[in-house]
A and B are shown apart, each in its own frame.
Chain A
Amino acid sequence: MSTKLALGDLSDLVLPRDLELLRGEVAHLLNQGSSLTPLYQALATTAPMALVDLVLGPKAATGARAVEAALGVLPALVEQTTPAGTIRRLGDLAPETRPEILTAAVQAFPSAAWIVGLSDKFDAQTPGSIHLNGTHIHPAYPSFCVAHAKAGHITALVDQAAQGRPAAVGALSLVDSSAAAQAAGRLLAEHPQMRVVPWIAAAKGTSAPEILLPLMSKLRSREAAINVLADLGPFPLAQARLSLILTGLRAC
């Protein structure tokens, strides 16, 4: 029976009567270091409610291996429950694997609003970075940046900017001018050809110089300065100041 279950053969089972038997089998497989995947996959197909009870219920197996196996059947789990509830519960069952759980959640539900809220707990080192790194080519990435900015995930957004993603600068401009200037400086240090003024202007309107003027002291290359200057037409004060700075910047 045990071998059959481990291979995903559920033909001898009567559910929910044999749920405790299944629970014992899961514990046995975990003790042995064997894979739970065939069993979970079979349950996902034939007995999804039993799978939910086994994986997420009050007596669910805890620990990294149990949760990693559960992530393999995530679509079946969320079909029976709510995605956010499933992810939270898995995080409670194996707190040490929360970053991996969030990564799987981001892949499955990149646009879900609850991902942002969950990031503080599941992406504790740099909240927001897992979601933003996992979705930077998603069409709604700029919206995700704004959501994380409003949630206070400043460090993650500065890191995003440093990777050449100006939407992060735009999002920061909405909430924290100082951080936005820092992020724009980091972006232009690594990617001097990229445009940050359009994003800052789109967020701040006529108040854009609040960010543009501090940014100037962070420009390290002539290429970046020339690039920024080309976009400064509607901000004459900033334009004049950068022109002056440019005369002092050596070609490099």
Chain B
Amino acid sequence: MPLSLSPSRARMPYSGYVTLTLIRGTATIEIAARLAHGLPPEQSWDAVLELQKLLENVDGQDAPSLLESLWRTLASAPETLGPTRGDDLSLLAQASDPTGSWLTGCGLSDVEGLPKAHGFPRRLGIPKDPPPSLPCTPQDRIGVCVEEGS
């Protein structure tokens, strides 16, 4: 399922927006993210390029380890997440391996799935928990980004 974030209502609807697919052996992680979208496009894009460079470090042998690596990577370098250090980051990621797929995200008000055949979007809700092995505390970067149901 290709991931996307809804375009913003701002003048430039995709300012600070990036998608990325990383393939690691039999596992894949797709990421759609937006950050620094309130800045002029050049500055937003600089933040995007930094984020992309950071996310290329995400690694793992299966979907859970990719998700864990994603959050570890983001938490490791908040200074690369734009001028707000990630406070305005919206991110949706889907990791897949031969055993299944998992969604995770932050800075999202909702998550919907669109069936392959024509149909209505299906509400998937908000990924409530980061991967169980994530070594995070409420003070970690991901904690401040999650906006469930906002």
Binding site for B on A (CB under 8 A): 142-143, 146, 166, 170, 174, 195, 197-199, 201-206, 231, 233-234
Contact = CB atoms under 8 A, between A and B. Distances in A.
Those 9 A-B pairs whose CB atoms lie nearest each other, nearest first: A205-B14, A198-B45, A202-B12, A202-B15, A198-B41, A202-B41, A198-B42, A234-B18, A199-B41
A197 B17 CA distance: 12
B7 A202 contact: no
Q: Which of A146, A201, A202, A234 has the most CB of B within 10 A?
A: A202
Mostly, the A contact residues are: helix
Contacts of A142: 11-12
A201 B16 CA distance: 8
Interface string B22-65: 00000000000000000001101110110011000000000000
Contacts of A202: 12-17, 41, 44-45
Contacts of A146: 11
Contacts of B20: 234
A216 B69 CA distance: 36
How big is the B interface, by class? Answer: 20 to 34
A202 B13 CA distance: 6
Contact of B14 (A204, A231, A233): A204
A170 B52 contact: no
B73 interface: no
Nearest to B12: A202
30 contacts: A143-B11, A146-B11, A166-B41, A170-B12, A170-B41, A195-B42, A198-B41, A198-B44, A198-B46, A199-B41, A199-B42, A201-B14, A201-B41, A201-B48, A202-B12, A202-B13, A202-B16, A202-B17, A202-B45, A203-B13, A204-B14, A205-B7, A205-B13, A205-B14, A206-B4, A231-B45, A233-B53, A234-B19, A234-B48, A234-B52
Given A202-B15, A203-B12, A233 B41 contact: no
Contacts of A174: 12
B19 A206 contact: yes
Contacts of A205: 4, 7, 13-14, 17
A202 to B, nearest CB: 4
A205 B6 CA distance: 11
